[in-house]
Chain A
């Protein structure tokens, strides 16, 4: 497309030697942008083999061949600059210089998947309209070769006149050449020529002039935006939340009405014209195999996406996950448990009796140690989630789950955040940014905390050990009970999604188009790194939040001291600040079978669910009259009501687990929901509806159980 006569294209930008140049890494979802970003910057941002892993920009630094710093911004993937979801909007806004917190990139690295070149070049084609220096990183050349495609990077470079670097970011190939290109001061502008259909040209010129004059857009951004507005009349998708001027709106409306009157679909024609230009560009770039055979991914998909076998495999994967959590984790858990107990005994033996010794043994060791022993199981959970993400199965799970999701008014795309929620609700809620429909996104955010996250594991495991104690019970039974809790949460998420889609967020059935990436062997290095990061985060929480809460809780259960020095430990807690607070809320939770001590655990675990276990360790740890540290499980078994009835009956343990399935007890999740919805309304609503549901379900469960004689 030729520029109007009144606009002069800017000369190629040369970044001055004393200024750090800013590069943006852009491309379609799942084309390897973050892998390339990590390879260039040495950072360790999360990567995965499914679309939508990166939902927010990431900034890092690399060094040119001359040793000068280069800032790199990794942006979420997008198929087009006409953003249809919040993550795509990040890309649009950064490239158009609309984000105040991010510098507008001087140069752009377009990462394209060599195995899907034409479709990837659609976004590149739009970006070239911006008239900024671009480097194309032709990534996944190995995958293209595996599919029988020959992609000629030199030919594409010749056609466009900009550097085109063939690379395999995952294997580190092509990085040196890419850095050399990035180090160039005089990056050329693309020979980007394409002719919009004749009848569209006047509309482009008129809109472009208005955008420049009335909306203060720089000339080339105005041209790119005009082309987008004529491709997609939805101004919010193109222009973002900042409204366009009345004059630009007026011009856009005039052209739309005119074209509707003529019965012409010029927006579709614009896309076709781009694709024709891309096909012309690629005519000598790609050589396809004469015959096409089903790829390995096709053959695997024939089983994993099969209407019957797909479900069977999904079920086996989930069962294997829960079985492994019990069977593989036991030896390391016993190891940690033994050492925590030995440490407590050693401190008790080494220190003189007194408040300081009690603080260390009953507060810190019982509280933090009680949570740390669940580390092996958390690591196993993240190993499995990492496997699903790395191989490409995550997108297949969304495909399989689309049908049940459609029954509740959502689509399979919502299942990826829900599945991520099994590990942690926070990345799950962040992942909803890839959902195009705003109502579906909000519904998914509201129900994601129902997916049992890793923080619930310690609570479930402790309660399962209470319900099914001893070595004689097989791991299968324990895994079955755990699976039941996960299933209950999932059913709850589906049920509430169904309810919300029929009441608060009514809307038609959403369309879903989801790209399924080719299967890849698991990248164990990335999985292990992610496991270590999550494990470290868990330990950091144990060393900070849980440690602090354990100390505070110990103080609240220790002071004020009972006036009678001979008072029992139970009388002391009842007299303490925590005991008094617990008694205040006891009337609310007593119908669920919980006493005031459990109530304290419920309150403290609003900080994080796993705090419940440490709270129980502190509260029931102080009851131990002997010098040996009593395992928490035994201490809970020994706990009783004032009348002598056991407190932690199997029914109460089950009810507690169900409470944790439904209740909203995670401050970090609430903060993320507030940020993602830009309002306190939804996190508050979420807290009340989830905790209210937890109370009601537990009431029915406990009272029914009691009526049946349990």
Chain B
């Protein structure tokens, strides 16, 4: 399914406890590459721990804090609870 047909939302809008799949990165090139290098690129699974303005997430067992601007630049699709 293409990204446009899926329901994408910025990472900051992912509910605490929910898991999403990273579908698109919208920041500048340097930011996108660093996010990918951290293993946070497209197709990575991310679990939101807490936060709305500053988000606390779990990616591949790593706890990452992202500010609002960074979390807005990462678009995810929420996965259903039974798909995690």
Contacts and interface: CB of A to CB of B under 8 A. Distances in A.
Contact of B39 (A115, A118, A406, A514): A118
Interface string B12-48: 0000000000000001011111111111111000000
Contacts of B34: 79-80, 84, 436, 513
Given A79-B34, A402-B54, A512-B70, A119 B65 contact: no
B6 interface: no
A512 B67 contact: yes
A509 B49 contact: no
Interface string B51-72: 1111010101111111111100
A80 B37 contact: yes
The 8 A-B residue pairs with the shortest CB-CB distance in the complex, in nearest-first order:
A512-B67, A511-B70, A516-B63, A271-B36, A402-B54, A399-B65, A509-B69, A514-B65
Contacts of A406: 53, 67-69
A115 to B, nearest CB: 6
Given A402-B54, A411-B67, 13 more contacts: A84-B34, A122-B39, A234-B29, A234-B30, A268-B33, A301-B49, A301-B63, A302-B49, A305-B50, A402-B53, A511-B73, A513-B64, A516-B63
A115 B61 contact: yes
Interface in A404-448: 406, 411-412, 436
Contacts of A577: none
Interface of B: 27, 29-42, 49-54, 56, 58, 60-70, 73
B35 A513 contact: yes
A145 to B, nearest CB: 13
Interface string A269-288: 00110010000000000000
User: Looking at chain B's contact residues, is the secondary structure mostly helix, strand, loop, or mixed?
Assistant: mixed
Contacts of B37: 79-80, 82, 122, 271
A531 B62 CA distance: 31
A172 interface: no
A268 B41 contact: yes
Contact of A512 (B29, B52, B66): B66
Contacts, number: 123
Contact of A119 (B30, B62, B68): B62
Contact of B67 (A79, A147, A511): A511
Contacts of A106: none
A267 B33 contact: yes
Contacts of B39: 118-119, 122, 275
A652 interface: no
Given A268-B42, A302-B50, A403-B53, A116 B27 contact: no
B49 A298 contact: yes
A709 B64 CA distance: 54
A231 B67 contact: no
Contacts of A302: 49-50
A568 interface: no
Contacts of A116: 60-62
Contacts of A512: 65-67, 69-70
Size bin of chain A's contact surface: 35 or more
A119 B52 CA distance: 25
A115 B32 CA distance: 24
A425 B67 CA distance: 25
A75 interface: no
27 contacts: A82-B37, A116-B62, A118-B60, A119-B62, A267-B33, A272-B42, A275-B39, A301-B50, A302-B49, A305-B49, A305-B56, A307-B51, A395-B65, A399-B56, A402-B53, A402-B67, A406-B53, A406-B69, A436-B34, A509-B67, A511-B69, A511-B70, A512-B69, A513-B38, A513-B66, A517-B63, A518-B63
A515 interface: yes
Nearest to B29: A233
A237 interface: yes
Contacts of B54: 399, 402-403, 412
Nearest to A511: B70
Contacts of B41: 268, 271-272, 275
Contacts of B38: 79, 119, 513
A510 interface: yes
Given A119-B62, A272-B41, A511-B31, A412 B36 contact: no
A232 B30 contact: yes
A398 interface: yes
Given A122-B37, A275-B39, A515 B69 contact: no
Nearest to B61: A116
Nearest to A405: B67
A306 interface: yes
Contacts of B63: 297-298, 301, 515-518
Given A298-B49, A301-B56, A511-B27, A398 B65 contact: yes
Contacts of B58: 298
Contacts of A147: 61
Contact of A84 (B30, B40, B65, B70): B30
Contact of A516 (B31, B53, B64): B64
B62 to A, nearest CB: 5
A412 B67 contact: yes
Contacts of A232: 29-30, 33
Contacts of B65: 305, 395, 398-399, 402, 412, 512-516
Contacts of B60: 116, 118-119
Point out which of A116, A271, A297 has the most chain B C-beta atoms below 10 A from its C-beta.
Answer: A271
Contacts of B32: 268
